[in-house]
Amino acid sequence: MPAVVIIGAQWGDEGKGKATDLLAEHIDYVVKFNGGNNAGHTVVIGDEKYALHLLPSGILTEGVVPVISNGVVIDLEVLFHEIEALNARGIDTSKLRVSANAHIITPYNVTVDKVSERFLGKRAIGTTGRGIGPTYADKINRVGIRIQDLFDESILRQKVEGALVSKNNLLTKVYNRAAIKTDDIVATLLSYAERVRPMVADTALELHQALEAGKTVLFEGGQATMLDVDHGTYPFVTSSNSTAGGASTGSGIGPGEFKTVIGIVKAYTTRVGAGPFPTELFDESGTYLRAAGFEFGTTTGRPRRCGWYDAPIARYSARINGVTDFVLTKLDVLTGLKEIPVCVAYEVDGKRFDEMPVSQTDFHHAKPIYETFPGWDEDITGARQFSDLPKNAQDYIIALEAMSGARISAIGVGPGRDAIIVRHDMLAGK
């Protein structure tokens, strides 16, 4: 069975957790390949709601092996907090695998993240302040701490000392903060060593062997396409590759294995943090979408910026990721609206752009060109077949599919795990 990738096709918070959990019933492994605890998945099972930040959402499905691979940056305190919280609710976490090559978010990475963001003032990026960016920077600068370093105190100490030379100069001389002591960092990190040791594995090898054995492996992207460090709305992006290409580098599985790429889109658009957002709403429509969709960050609690569906972004994501199937979430949030605008193109200085402008300046100044579709009043949360939807809802889906660059194979119609319409089997024949 080839590997399957799930990615966010907008700016995140599209419902990847729900989609992953839906598919997890049919798969053997779920792999988180990028990001850290700067994003969250909310999964609703029955009356229970689970908010996951670092762990793959497939961990909630019995029999599935969850994997945190090499492309992830790990805050060990957060990792064990999540594990303990799930264990307390009767969820088995014993199968979790953690890559020996994954980098660790150290306390000094968190400190640098927070103080540097404050220092930027009006030019702030909108970081979550959880040390994600500085940890990836350390990785690129080759001064990062990896999981495997926890098991050699001498190596760990040398690496921490080396990293703190520049960090302490920055903290004391630029940000007027106290220097961080090597002993404190080493002691904190070593306190997790024996707890994490049973989970640590050569995850790239294990995943390769699983695929060779015919197992189904699902790769779950954190963040989203428009937050990808290379292909997103730079510089208002995350610090990793959250596109389908990141699944290969972030896991050690060759790109030829990925035959199915599932893009998750909301029936409208949201964004958290700073950066351009052409369809953003500042009126009562935006307030309605935020309230009806409960658009507040799973990790940060920040209110999400809300706007109408953006078809050029969907097409861009389909192209960048090689999307084979879209999962459209939160269609039920649009119930009750008389008209539903959809952005079909942009206008920049009197010129029409049918595709996303390559220029950051152009995209920043882009004004949406809308096509309006009639809404519906019927409650759709009980719909389980496409034919159960009101005609206007069906027409809306068909129109989005025609302009989004890939087929819409599943539609979320409510918060529950089973509140979804499957139009096409996304795993069939792959």
Are 199 and 205 in contact by the 8 Å Cβ rule? The answer is no
Tokens linked to 105: 């978010």
State the SS3 of 345-385.
EEEECCEEECCCCCCHHHHHHCEEEEEEEECCCCCCCCCCC
Cα-Cα end-to-end distance for the chain: 7
Tokens linked to 266: 């909301």
Quick check: is 424 catalytic? no
Single out the residue of 257, 108, 101, 236 nearest to residue 169, CA to CA: 108
Quick check: is 103 catalytic? no
Catalytic residue among 13, 138, 228, 332: 13
Are 32 and 69 in contact by the 8 Å Cβ rule? The answer is yes
Q: Which SS3 state, helix, strand or coil, does residue 104 take?
A: strand
Q: What are phi and psi of 394, to 5 degrees?
A: -60, -45
User: Rounded distance, CA 275 to CA 271, Å?
Assistant: 9
Catalytic residue among 21, 41, 103, 138: 41
User: Rounded distance, CA 272 to CA 236, Å?
Assistant: 10
State the SS3 of 22-49.
HHHCCCCEEEECCECCCCCEEEEECCEE
Tokens linked to 7: 């990615």
Single out the residue of 195, 197, 228, 232 nearest to residue 33, CA to CA: 228
Are 219 and 7 in contact by the 8 Å Cβ rule? The answer is no
User: Rounded distance, CA 326 to CA 108, Å?
Assistant: 39
User: Rounded distance, CA 179 to CA 157, Å?
Assistant: 16
Number of H helices, E strands in the chain: 13, 20
Are 146 and 101 in contact by the 8 Å Cβ rule? The answer is yes
Count CB atoms within 10 A of the CB of residue 430: 15
- What are the angstrom distances between the C-alpha of 76 and each of 180, 182, 197? 19, 18, 12
Are 422 and 428 in contact by the 8 Å Cβ rule? The answer is no
| Residues involved in catalysis | 13, 41
